[in-house]
Structure 1
Amino acid sequence: MYITITAQKLSGAFNQSVADFVNYLEKENNEKEAELQEHFFNQYEDQIAPQQVISEIDSNTKKLKKVEPKFYSITVNPSSYELKRLQNNSEDLKKYTRALMQDYVKAFNREINNKPITIDAIKYFAKIEHTRTFKGTDKQVLENQPYASKILKLKNEIRKINSGEQTRNIQLLENKINKLESNAPHKQNGKRIVQGMQKQGSQSHIHIIVSRKDNTNSYSLSPGSKYKASEVTLNGKIVKRGFDRDSFFKNAEQTFDTTFQYKRNYVETYNARKTFIKNPKIYFSALLELPTNERAVAFKLLSKSGVPVTSIPTNQVQLVLKAFKKLKQLTEVAIQSSSIGI
């Protein structure tokens, strides 16, 4: 499980409205028949129109400055292993989203009218997507780029030959193109991976738009707060503040496991990810101390994420002496993917 919380982008050409983001999330529906489309939903309603989402989020911004985010985006990316536990991706992910947002409100160290924040205090809309495409920043696209550049150059030369600007052997150039296509390091279904290509396999994930203001448009609720839990005096009153991301991520993970009876391996846990970031040696030490069956599954998960498990040290002496730099770099990429960690 990989979950991110991102504030609305306000710099440059980004709009103050949520409209662009909502329209972006409608992209899958543009290619589907009406009965197959995924609609926005919230805690109690299904099939919410995009226009309603835009209207309610844009109008719920009282007293917020232009430089302050009006909404936050939560993206929830279950791994392929987690998705296998679902019976119906759309309905099960809706169910999980509604449980997840209960965890979200519990992570706030805030009170409204002297009462803890409840699910009814927030305004959110969610959308499930089932496909992903390769981006220009993806490892596969970046490592294929040198081949793509050479192929483009050769195709331009063929174009010039066909237009009479050059006289060369087209077949020779086409053979070079075929060789480059064959040698490109990353392929999918036999084709070189390029930006915009749809990723294969189950890619279901959740996008959640949460208003910065509460449902009454009176209180600011920011998951971007730098405080986990603190108190401050405002107008003579003690006010609680803060959002505990650690608590939210851990509970989100536990909620999934409980809801779908998922047995989470060590390398998939939020605590493991935090340990890796803080001290990779402790992370790998804990990995080696797992029971044999769990360790085998952990190595399988790491291997499928691109980590060379044969280079992981097998005893404590090696653990201290072995250089972790390259392994740490590779594991860091994997652990931030949708396959490992939150």
Structure 2
Amino acid sequence: MYITITAQKIGGNYSKSAAGFVAYLEKENQELAPDEMEHFFNQYEDNISADKVTREIDGNTAKLEKTEPRFYSITVSPSKYELKQLQNNSEDLKKYTRELMKDYVASFNREVNGRPISIDDVKYFAKIEHTRSFKGSDKQVQENQAFASEILNLKNEIRKINRGEFQGDVASREKRISQLEKQAPHKQNGERIVQGMKKEGAQSHIHIIVSRKDASNRFSLSPGSKYKASSVELNGKVVRRGFDRDAFFKNSEKTFDKTFGYQRNFVETYKARKSFIKNPRGYFDSLLKLPAPEKAIAFKMMKESGIPMLPSIPTNKAQLALKVFNRLRKGIDIAVKSSSIGI
């Protein structure tokens, strides 16, 4: 499970409207027939229009400054193993979203009118998408870029030759293009991966747009708070503040497992991934102590995620050299950023 929470951000200040982001979330529907479209939903309603989403979010921004986000975006990307556990991607992910948002609410160390906040205090809208495209920031696109640039230059030269604007041999350039296409390191179904190409396999994921203000438009609820969970005294009154991201990430996977009866492998857990970053030796020590079947699945998942693997798995902790861990840590970071694993 890979979950990100990001603030609305456009330029130096925050846009006054969510219209641009909502339109972006509607992009997949443009290619679908009416009966195939996925519509926005919230905790209690389905089939919510994009206009209503924009209107509700834009109308819930009382007393926010230009330098404060109007909303936050939560993206939830289950792994292919998690998606395989689902019976109906759309309905199951909708069900999971509604349970996930309860975890989101529970992660705030806040009160509204003297009581803990509830799901009814949060204004959010969500949408399921089933495809993903390669972005310019993806490793595959970046590592193919040198080949893409040379191919583009050669094609431009061929066009100029055909127009009589340039002297040269078309056949040799076409042969070179064919060679470059074969040499490009990243392909999908035999084709060089380029920006905008649809990713193969199960790609269903969830986009959630959640208002910075609570449903009453009176209180600020920021998951971007620098305070994890604390209390402070203001004007003689103790005020609770903060958002516990660790708790949210841990509970989000527990909720998925409970809802769909999913048996989560060690390497899929938020606790294990966090341990890898802070204590890689301890992480691998725990990994090597797993029962043989679970350990085999763990290494299979790691390999599929693009994490650099050792030629042979060391059995002696002393063999786990620091340079190896630095290499593996880099691989974990790449895998997380490509949405293949992690929260």
Q: What TM-score do the two structures reach when normalised by structure 2? A: 0.96
Residue 36 (structure 1) aligns with: 36
User: Within the alignment, does 1:339 sit opposite 2:337 as a pair?
Assistant: no
Please give the alpha-carbon distance, in whole angstroms, between the structure 2 residues aligned to 1:332 and 1:90: 29
**2:14–2:68: 8 Å Cα contact kept in structure 1?**
no
Q: Counterpart of 1:145?
A: 145
Q: How does 1:119-198 map to 2 (within 5 A)?
A: 119-198=119-198
Residues 14 and 70 of structure 2 are in contact (CA less than 8 Å); yes or no, is this contact kept in structure 1?
no
State the partner residue of 2:319.
318
Q: Tell me how far apart the structure 2 counterparts of residues 105 and 13 of structure 1 sit (CA, whole Å).
A: 27
1:2·1:337 contact (CA, 8 Å) conserved in 2? no
* Aligned counterpart, 2:268: 268
Instruction: Provide the rounded CA distance (Å) in 2 between the counterparts of 1:160 and 1:14.
Output: 45
Distance 1:233 1:11, change over 3 A: farther
Q: Aligned equivalents of 2:112 and 2:207: distance in 1? A: 26
Query: 2:336 & 2:269 partners in 1: Cα distance?
Result: 10
The whole-number CA distance in structure 2 between the counterparts of 1:183 and 1:113 is 63
1:170 partner amino acid: V
* Partner-residue secondary structure (3-state), 1:256: helix
Q: Deviations over 1:152-186 (max 9, x none)?
A: 11111111110112232211110110011011111
The Cα of 1:322 is off from its aligned counterpart by 5.9
CA deviations on 1:199-219 (whole Å, 9 max, x unpaired) are 111100000011011110011
Contact 1:109 1:229 in 2 (8 A): yes
- 8 Å contact 2:281–2:317 — kept in the other structure? no
Residue type at the aligned position of 2:256: F
Where do 1:183-222 residues align within 5 Å? 183-222=183-222
Flag the 1:317–1:15 CA change in 2: closer, same or farther, 3 A. Answer: same
Q: Following superposition of structure 1 onto structure 2, how do residues 243-282 of structure 1 map, counting pairs within 5 Å?
A: 243-282=243-282
Distance 1:14 1:154, change over 3 A: farther
Question: Structure 1-normalised TM-score?
Answer: 0.96
Alignment of 1:66-145 (within 5 A): 66-145=66-145
Asked if the contact 2:121/2:214 (under 8 Å) is kept, the reply is yes
Task: Give the whole-Å Cα distance in 2 for the aligned partners of 1:320 and 1:162.
Answer: 57
Q: How far does residue 289 in structure 1 lie from its aligned partner after superposition? A: 1.4
Contact 1:313–1:322 (Cα < 8 Å) also in 2: no
Structure 2 unaligned residues grouped into runs of 5+: none
CA deviation vs aligned residue, 1:204-253 (integer Å, no higher than 9, x gap): 00000110111100111111111122112334322111111111110000
Q: What is the distance in 2 between the residues matched to 1:235 and 1:331?
A: 46
What is the aligned partner in structure 1 of residue 60 from structure 2?
Answer: 60
Percent identity (aligned): 66
Q: 2:258 corresponds to which letter in structure 1? A: T
Alignment gaps of 5+ in structure 1:
none
CA RMSD of aligned residues (A): 1.4
CA distance in 2, matches of 1:18, 1:323: 45
Mapped partners of 1:276, 1:18: distance in 2:
37
TM superposition outliers: structure 1 runs of 4+ over 4 Å: none
Match of 1:242 in 2: 242
CA 1:166 to 1:320, structure 2 compared with 1: closer, same or farther past 3 Å?
closer
**Deviation of residue 313 (structure 1)?**
3.0
- 1:269-316 CA deviation, whole Å, 9 max, x = no partner? 000111111122221121111111111000000111122333453321
CA contact (8 A) 2:308 2:327 kept: no
Match of 1:290 in 2: 290
What residue is the counterpart of 1:327 in the other structure? 328
Q: How many residues align?
A: 342
